[in-house]
Amino acid sequence: MTFATHEFTRYAEVRAALADPLLVPTPAEPGPVGTVAWLRASVARFSSGEEHAWRRALVEAELARLDPAELRKAVGGADGDGDGESGAAVVRALAGAMGLAEPDAVADAVGVAAGAYFGGGGAAEDAAVARLVELCGPEPEVAAHRIGLLVQACDATGGLVDRARARGGAGESVEARLEETLRYDPPVRVMRRTAMGDTRVGGVAVAAGDLVLLDIAAGNRDPEADGDHFTFGAEPRICPGRAHALALAAGILERGPGRELAEGITHMVEHVLRLASTWTHWDGRPRPVDDRVYTPHKAIRRVADHLVDHLAELEARLAGEETQPDHWHASATTTPADLAAFTQEDLEEAHSRLNRLARIWANRLDALTAAQLDVPQALNFVRAGQTPLPGTGWTFREIAAHLPGSAYYADSVGDLTPAATAAATPAATPAKEQTT
């Protein structure tokens, strides 16, 4: 018996087809545990009826544990250069948030398995699914819904990021860019259904066994859609991960290539301020470390000046100017102000000063392109036609990566809570900072 294929492009037809219980995703043929066939036969995506309902409930329970706002912050490592990079970043973030032990290995295997999720596949894809069962298990049933969730997330969200990037949209908020992309350039273009009984879509008779293709991209553009879209499907199968998808895509899009470097600086400042919160207990004796002495005020001064010094260097280079000559006395001097008691007010001022400096660095690094980050000093001029300055200075990436070393100054003073001081054996020498 031959079955017909019907294609629908109008908003009303797509909506009617998605709501029709007789039109279901083509059921998957089962296979041995750890194969692509087994995966397809075990997930909500290709199930129907009650089986679909309880499998979907498992996925929704897993997703309820994952806070989209946290995912937005956590997602990283996708500069958008490599094929599949955004999808891999999405999977790494989800796997990490799900508490899976090896997010990188999970992302690699999901990348392979995703290629066969909607059909096809061979030994490599089966091996990837088998590896995923180990990584997402131990129960195959639990592993299956986790793998299904990760595979669903991978290509669709990666595709959304890539399409939103290609769309551009300078001046638009990330959210507006994503919403436009979802509506006019959806990453999932077509949905398939198989008729489980005779039915009708619009005026068209669909017989049991017929294949139905729903053109989402066309349906979204239909004037009748009036702002609505099917990019995430429709009830009862509407994508349960849509809030997560938007958060992950926004997180990747707003993440410039300098974001990890900025985080290094922010974490250093957090570490310094955590130690500084104990320095109101300081006994007034400078702490000798290496060939210098350190005090609370001196440590804060050095951390702040180090951030200011390299920021001035970076800004001068971006403006095509010579950097100012080095007149710092840095750690070689201990001023009377360095020896003053460190009060609660000093701590509060240090918070405001260092947090603002970290924020300025983060904003500056976010605004740099990958090329600007990695061009050596002599070539790093934004003004066309300027003669490069002499010198073989660091790239901006190297400068930013060196700044977390400022923790050295604070570590030299250490944790001064009375309990920590009493317990302290002679202070371990902190890792040597690389400059002054």
State the residues that interact with ligand HEM by CB under 6 A.
25, 44-45, 56, 59, 63, 94, 148-149, 152-153, 156-157, 160, 187-188, 191, 231-233, 237, 239-241, 244-245
Smallest gap, in angstroms, from Cβ of residue 150 to ligand HEM? 7
Smallest gap, in angstroms, from Cβ of residue 36 to ligand HEM? 17
**Number of other CB atoms surrounding residue 236 within 10 Å:** 12
C-beta separation of 144 from 39 below 8 A? yes
- How far is residue 319's CA from residue 315's CA, in Å, rounded to a whole number? 6
CB nearer to ligand HEM: pick between 91 and 350: 91
Coil/strand/helix, residue 210: coil
Smallest gap, in angstroms, from Cβ of residue 207 to ligand HEM? 21
- Largest Cα span, the chain: 95
Contacts of residue 146, Cβ cutoff 8 Å, sequence gap at least 6: 62, 98, 100, 136
C-beta separation of 293 from 338 below 8 A? no
Question: Side-chain half-sphere of 248: how many Cα atoms within 13 Å?
Answer: 32
Question: Side-chain half-sphere of 219: how many Cα atoms within 13 Å?
Answer: 28
C-beta separation of 90 from 248 below 8 A? yes
Q: Cα separations (Å) of 98 from 85, 103, 250, 390? A: 20, 9, 19, 50
CA neighbor of 113 nearest in space, from 137, 129, 102, 131: 129
Q: Is the peptide bond before 25 cis (omega within 30 degrees of 0)?
A: no
**Of all helices (H) and strands (E), which one includes residue 178?**
helix 174-184
Smallest gap, in angstroms, from Cβ of residue 5 to ligand HEM? 16
- How far is residue 301's CA from residue 334's CA, in Å, rounded to a whole number? 11
Smallest gap, in angstroms, from Cβ of residue 64 to ligand HEM? 11
**Number of other CB atoms surrounding residue 340 within 10 Å:** 14
DSSP category for residue 337: G
Contacts of residue 408, Cβ cutoff 8 Å, sequence gap at least 6: 430, 431, 432, 433
CB nearer to ligand HEM: pick between 59 and 130: 59
Smallest gap, in angstroms, from Cβ of residue 154 to ligand HEM? 8
Smallest gap, in angstroms, from Cβ of residue 1 to ligand HEM? 25
- How far is residue 261's CA from residue 364's CA, in Å, rounded to a whole number? 11
**Of all helices (H) and strands (E), which one includes residue 317?**
helix 296-318
Smallest gap, in angstroms, from Cβ of residue 197 to ligand HEM? 18
Smallest gap, in angstroms, from Cβ of residue 59 to ligand HEM? 4
**Number of other CB atoms surrounding residue 365 within 10 Å:** 25
- The residue sitting closest to ligand HEM, measured at its beta carbon, is 241
CB nearer to ligand HEM: pick between 45 and 317: 45
- How far is residue 244's CA from residue 98's CA, in Å, rounded to a whole number? 13
Smallest gap, in angstroms, from Cβ of residue 194 to ligand HEM? 11
Q: Is the peptide bond before 236 cis (omega within 30 degrees of 0)?
A: yes
C-beta pairs of 325-333 under 8 Å, 24+ apart in sequence: 328/436, 330/302, 330/305, 330/435, 330/436, 331/292, 331/294, 331/298, 331/302, 331/409, 331/436, 332/292, 332/436
CB nearer to ligand HEM: pick between 239 and 340: 239
Smallest gap, in angstroms, from Cβ of residue 236 to ligand HEM? 7
CB nearer to ligand HEM: pick between 187 and 404: 187
- How far is residue 320's CA from residue 19's CA, in Å, rounded to a whole number? 61
CB nearer to ligand HEM: pick between 157 and 372: 157
CB nearer to ligand HEM: pick between 93 and 358: 93
Smallest gap, in angstroms, from Cβ of residue 182 to ligand HEM? 7
